[in-house]
Each structure stands twice: as structure tokens, then as C-alpha cells.
Amino acid sequence: QGFHPMRSTRVLTRLLLIRHGQVIPPAVDCLYGGMDVPLSELGKQQAIAAAAEANALRISHVYSSPLSRAVFGAEKVVEAQSSRPGLSIERDLREVDRGAWGGRPRTEIELEAPGGLARLKADPEFRPPGGESMRELRNRVIATYERIVRATPPGETVAVVSHMHVTRAIVAHVLGEPERDGEIEIPLASSSLVEIDAATGVATMAYIGREPVLESARDSVGNAWGG
């Protein structure tokens, strides 16, 4: 006897945020940002591993930055899903534009503009010559994120394959701390899951920066590469 309330079940809409894998070694020490730098062979394996782990979620659509290092990963997510979800390229999911500093070594930039890299990191309004500020990046990324959320039916899961600063901006927005995005660790090929209560619209992070396990490391003892 007694009152037995109905069990409430929340309907969660999910966005799986995936960062691209490692890029070719010559660009690693450069400030490349929005340049279209290709993945290394390891980076491709990382992207495949991330897509395989994303297969645990039933993804209804995939969104990608237009840069090839993200598109490769997005295509692997589509291929890993038995439903073969659609893929949309979103220009505003591209990485931050470093302007005239793009593709140049950090040491060279520091010699030309002493203190510039420190300002780039500390000041969200600072813009490299011909580039964009972190504030501008955040504005375009969050506008795209909100549009994707509105377009996603309640209870469905979509994947967003992009870049470190793009993912940081979304995670910081969900956490309610947009100015602290630079403190959020988003490893290469990692996944971060946003969960949105369909009834209230409240978004939370289920996890942040979860790294995939490469096939080559699954049978070995110790940490995966980069661990």
C-alpha cells in the first residue's frame, strides 16, 4: 500500500565532441590554427579509434569542420555507424584563424612580436595580424553549437568533429565559464559528451577529454601512445 510515484525518465539530447588526431610532424611546432594541415599516419589511427568508440552511441547526424583533419575523422564516425548518418560541413566549426602568424614557428613569431604569444593566450580580445580573436572564435562557435542543438530532435545523439579551441569553447560554454576555456584539457582525438535535458534545456558535461585506445595498444602492457 501507499503512494508510489511514477518513475521519471529524463530524455537526454547528446552532442559528442571529437577533436581531430595528430597532424603531420612538421606543423607540430608551428602556430597553424585554421590552416588545412593534414593528419599524420598516427593521427589517422587515432581518428579511427575515436570513431570506433563513438560507435557505442547511436549517432543520428555528424557535423564537421571543413578542414581535412576533421573531415577525415567525421567520415570515419559515419562509416563506423551501421545507420550511416548524414554528414554536414559547418564552416564556423573551423579552428581559430591565426592570420599572418599561421604556419610560422612560435620562436619566429616571438622574435618579431615580443610578448605577442603571451597576449594571444591571455587576452580574448587580442587578434594576430589578419587573424581573429578568441572572442570572435567563441561567438561563431557558440552560435553554431546552439543551432545544432535546436536542430537535433530530443533524445538523439549527434557528433561534432572539430578542433581543440572549438571544443574548448563549447565545453566552457556548457560549464558556464567561457573565460576559462584555455584551462580545459582537450587531448588529440579525445571525446567530450554534452548532455541536454530535453524538458528543461539544461546542458551538462558527462565527461571531458576522454582519449581513445589505439588498436596497437590494446594488446600491449602499459599506456597507449601519448599516455
Q: Which residues make up each annotated binding site for substrate?
A: 69
CB 38 within 8 A of CB 69: yes
Q: CB-based contacts of 141: which residues, under 8 Å, 6+ apart?
A: 92, 93, 166, 169, 170
Alpha helix positions (H), the chain: 41-54, 68-80, 106-112, 116-122, 134-151, 164-175, 215-218
Long-range CB pairs of 119-126 (<8 Å, 24+ gap) are: 121/182, 124/179
Joined together, the cell numbers standing for residue 140 give 561563431
Helix (H) or strand (E) holding 123: none
What SS3 state is found at 59? Answer: strand
User: Within 10 Å of residue 157's Cβ, how many Cβ atoms?
Assistant: 20
Joined together, the cell numbers standing for residue 99 give 592570420
Binding residues: 69
Beta bridge partners of 87: 62
Q: DSSP string covering 5-19, please?
A: PPPP---EEEEEEEE
Q: At which residue does the C-alpha cell 588545412 appear?
A: 36
CA distance linking residue 205 with residue 126, whole number of Å: 28
